[in-house]
């Protein structure tokens, strides 16, 4: 990732109002005082296409055959990355609480798969998608993110690259200072439980 790419990514996120302040419950279950609502930037087709091209550029040498994204947040950016790479785009979704490929989607044996998500906090969703890909006989070629907000380095088992990295504080619910202060919580992610 180049300095220009990082700056442009953060500029697009800021211009669209995607970087939010408050008290948020993340998809991981953790709580944070900041949230990146990538749907706000991806609602603009020109910005989505630009982010997709930039993210695809980080994986040009990885022989990617297919992009698979977790629903819901990864669908638009996954599609744009796939378009830039000239490959198919699929998405995995939850059925009975477990990630799966539905709608007739299939990963071919030995296909090299790039897993694309909008924001990485813990990497849990993309690791679930990786299990689906491997169970179908695919090979995980890498993981791509618009924004990596993780607090600690975690080996995902394949190259993980993001257009920008921004450390955002997060806490387990029982250790959340905002909960302790009585600040109302918002649940902006795709998992509302």
Ranges of each domain in the chain:
3-180
Residue 193 has pLDDT above 90, yes or no: no
Q: Mean pLDDT across the stretch 43-72?
A: 96
How do residues 141-183 score in pLDDT, each as one tens digit?
Answer: 999 999 998 867 778 889 999 999 988 888 899 999 998 888 8
pLDDT of residue 189: 66
Query: DSSP states of 148-177 as a string?
Result: E--SS----SS-EEEEEE----EE-GGG-H
Please tell me the class of the 3-180 domain: alpha beta
Dig out the tokens for 73 from the structure: 């947040």
pTM of the predicted model over 0.85? yes
Q: Is the pLDDT of residue 26 over 90?
A: no
pLDDT of residue 191: 53
47-81 as b/e: b if 16+ CB within 10 A: bbebbbebbbbbbeeeebbbbbbbbbbbbbbbbbb
């Amino acid at each position: 990732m180049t300095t220009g790419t990082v700056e442009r990514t953060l500029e697009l996120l800021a211009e669209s109002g995607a970087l939010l302040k408050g008290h948020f419950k993340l998809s991981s279950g953790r709580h944070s005082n900041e949230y990146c609502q990538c749907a706000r930037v991806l609602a603009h087709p020109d910005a989505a296409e630009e982010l997709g091209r930039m993210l695809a550029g980080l994986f040009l040498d990885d022989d990617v055959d297919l992009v698979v994204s977790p629903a819901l947040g990864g669908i638009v950016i996954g599609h744009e990355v796939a378009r830039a790479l000239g490959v198919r785009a699929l998405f995995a979704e939850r059925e009975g609480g477990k990630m799966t490929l539905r709608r007739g989607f299939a990963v071919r044996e030995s296909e090299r798969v790039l897993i694309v998500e909008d924001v990485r906090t813990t990497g849990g969703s993309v690791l679930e998608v990786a299990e689906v890909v491997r169970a179908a006989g695919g090979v995980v070629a890498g993981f791509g993110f618009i924004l990596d907000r993780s607090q600690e380095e975690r080996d995902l088992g394949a190259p993980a690259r993001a257009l920008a990295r921004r450390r955002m504080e997060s806490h387990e619910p029982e250790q959340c200072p905002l909960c302790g202060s009585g600040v109302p919580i918002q649940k902006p992610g795709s998992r509302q439980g």
